[in-house]
Amino acid sequence: MSPLAPAPLPPCPPLLPGFPLYRAAGLRALEAAARGQPLMERAGLAAADLAADLITGPRSEGPILILAGPGNNGGDAYVAARHLQARFFPVHLVALGDPSQAPADARAARQAFLDAGGSELTAIPEHAPQTHWALIIDGLFGIGLQRPLTGAYASAVVAANHLAKTQGCPLLALDCPSGLDGDTGRVLGPAIQASHTLAFIAHKPGLLTLDGPDHSGILHLAPLELDAPRLVPPEGHSIGREALAAHLLPRLRNSHKGSFGSAGILGGARGMTGAALLAGRAALLLGTGRVFVGLADDSLGAPTFDPLQAELMLRPADSLCEAPLTALAIGPGLGQSPQARLWLARSLATDLPLVLDADALNLLAADPTLAQALATREAASLLTPHPAEAARLLGCEVAAVQADRIAAAQALSQQFAAWVALKGAGTVVAAPDGRWWINTSGNPGQAAAGQGDILTGITAALLAQGWEAGTALLGAVHLHGTAADYLAGTGIGPAGLTASETAVAARTVFNAWSQPPALSA
């Protein structure tokens, strides 16, 4: 290969299946449905198996530090400790809390560990900084924690995080990192920053959104021999291929540009035309037959064509709806002028599937008449707010939105009878009927100007090509994140990843997903 030739790109990330998600109440129902089965024994054994796999490298001869709390999470830790000790791993178990107050199964697990020759410590050894731990296991608290950790628990969490960081050893959380709300992803005071989390029975939404991804590390699942969806219907799901497969089909050879719809992008007031152009470029790159961009900028200096994407058809915003559109997006760079309000009112009155973002959402939040027009639309409506925009629409503080992102997305969806993607770490997608999904793709490179415009353009493209509203939003959110991950895998990002690069990568990933599977010989 010539030294000037570009390095080959890695294969595109595959479109993986989604998985069910359960909050604490649903998990309690699953445990009740499986009453009588040795779930704690299975959980501890699974934890020991994973722990053994994680202990590698030059420090693999060091001891394992296990933190066992006062509840069933601590019981899981005791079972794991017993199995690891039986495999001749040196185990130092720190027991926190009053064992006499523990649930019956946890007390039995503790006794079995002691009967097998195990011993307990009441605190992390003072010589710990000089001990090279092979692994730290967090078994303090699981999904039931609803208050900040204090006292000895908080001290143990801080110490465990410090040891894992300074010594470079894995930190494995059992079921949910202690101090993290498994339902919402909120950090409740000091919280474990795990490098790995082993979820039991099913994944928890709090591991996937808000602060969850930064505290959970690599996720693993031990179903404990239960078929969770068969026992209790899932409350939510991650976004996966089963939600998108019906639309991810190869294009027919006998096609023309009219076969793939016409998307309209309305926005781009003076000084913000780039936002509308970015959305239009993304819609074009995702395969829309024709893309019309209606610019709100009516100054003499307004662009009449896009020099980087001459295929885009630019026109004044007033004439956009005269184009033969199959989907419309409004908001990128729209501004909040009286004229912008009029354009939004006209857009809401169309019978087109409609994506609303950015200033379109801010106008809605400030005008009850527009909000009512949205809530009573017959055509599909899709909203893509970030947390601050969601807070304006709900009339609350941003902290309230972030305190329960699933509930906030559901509230918006029901209030406006629309599909909603609440953007952020672990974007939450909510349907008007109450269903919800959490996206697992994406990285911090998407925290940059213009990335929201790219998502709007991708969504408009899928709608224009005939995708159903919910499937289009799920597909756009997951594709947008996967494109960013694909680029990061090549060294382009996360730092410095641009919106324009993400749009091009989204085209590559989308085409890879839409190809038929290779035939075996």
pLDDT tens readout for residues 75-110: 999 999 999 999 999 999 999 999 889 999 999 999
**Could you give the 3-state DSSP secondary structure of residue 361?**
helix
Cβ(166)–Cβ(106) below 8 Å: no
* Predicted local distance difference test score (pLDDT) of residue 103: 94
CATH code where residue 363 lies: 3.40.1190.20
In a domain, 242, yes or no: no
Better pLDDT: 6 or 249: 249
The residue among 184, 206, 237 that closes a domain is 237
pLDDT at 331: 98
pLDDT, averaged across the chain: 94
Other CB atoms closer than 10 Å to residue 335's CB: what's the count? 21
Domain-located, residue 221: yes
pLDDT over 60 at 4, yes or no: no
Q: Give the pLDDT score at 100.
A: 87
**71 has a pLDDT exceeding 70:** yes
pLDDT at residue 21, as a whole number? 98
Write phi, then psi, for 469 (nearest 5 degrees): -55, -55
Q: Is the pLDDT of residue 521 over 50?
A: no
Mean pLDDT (whole number) for 197-222: 98
The answer to the question of residue 12 being in a domain is no
The residue type of 187 is: V
pLDDT value of position 128:
63
Whether residue 4 lies inside any domain: the answer is no
Over residues 32-43, mean pLDDT:
97
d(CA 277, CA 293): 7
pLDDT confidence of residue 191: 97
202 and 299 assigned to the same domain: no
Is the predicted pLDDT of residue 10 greater than 80, yes or no? Answer: no
* Same domain, residue pair 87 and 186: yes
Backbone dihedral region of 484: left (phi > 0), alpha (psi from -120 to 50 degrees) or beta? alpha
70 plus 190 within the same structural domain: yes
> What value does the mean pLDDT take over residues 386-411?
98
pLDDT at 59 over 90: no
Q: Which of 239-248, 325-334, 400-409, 412-421 has the lowest mean pLDDT?
A: 239-248
Average pLDDT over residues 393-397: 98
224 and 91 assigned to the same domain: yes
Q: What is the pLDDT of residue 57?
A: 66
pLDDT score of 520 more than 90: no
Of the residues 178, 203, 237, the one at which a domain ends: 237
High-pLDDT (> 70) share of the chain, %? 96
Residue in the structure block whose two tokens are 């130092």: 92
Q: Please check whether residue 3 lies inside any domain of the structure.
A: no
Residue 521 lies in a domain: no
Supply the pLDDT for residue 58: 61
Task: Say if residue 426's pLDDT is above 60.
Answer: yes
Strands 419-422 and 428-430: antiparallel
Quick one: pLDDT at residue 519?
40
pLDDT of residue 8: 58
Residues 323 and 231 in one domain: no
- Say yes or no: 336 and 207 in one domain: no
pLDDT score for 3: 41
Residue 252 lies in a domain: no
Give dist(CA 372, CA 381) in Å, integer: 13
> Do 224 and 267 fall within a single domain?
no
Categorize the per-residue pLDDT at 6 as very low, low, confident or very high, splitting at 50, 70 and 90.
Answer: very low
Same domain, 384 and 266: yes
Q: How many domains in the chain? A: 2
Q: For residue 204, is pLDDT > 70?
A: yes
Q: What is the pLDDT of residues 327-351, one digit of tens each?
A: 999 999 999 999 999 999 999 999 9
Q: What is the CATH number of the domain that holds 49?
A: 3.40.50.10260
Asked whether the predicted pLDDT for residue 354 surpasses 60, the reply is yes
Span 260-293, pLDDT tens digits = 999 999 999 999 999 999 999 999 999 999 999 9
- The residue with tokens 């199959």 is 326
Report residue 210 as tokens.
């808000």
Residues 278 and 225 in one domain: no
The 8-class DSSP code of residue 517 comes to P
**Residues 207, 285 within the same domain:** no
3-state secondary structure of 146: coil
What DSSP element (H or E) covers 338?
Answer: helix 338-348
Q: What is the pLDDT of residue 419?
A: 98
Q: What is the pLDDT of residues 177-194, one digit of tens each?
A: 999 999 999 998 999 999
Indicate whether 61 belongs to any domain. Answer: yes
Q: Do 219 and 136 share a structural domain?
A: yes
Range of the domain at 424: 260-514
* pLDDT for the residue 504: 97
Residues 293, 195 share a domain:
no
Instruction: Give the C-alpha separation, 479 to 248, whole Å.
Output: 12
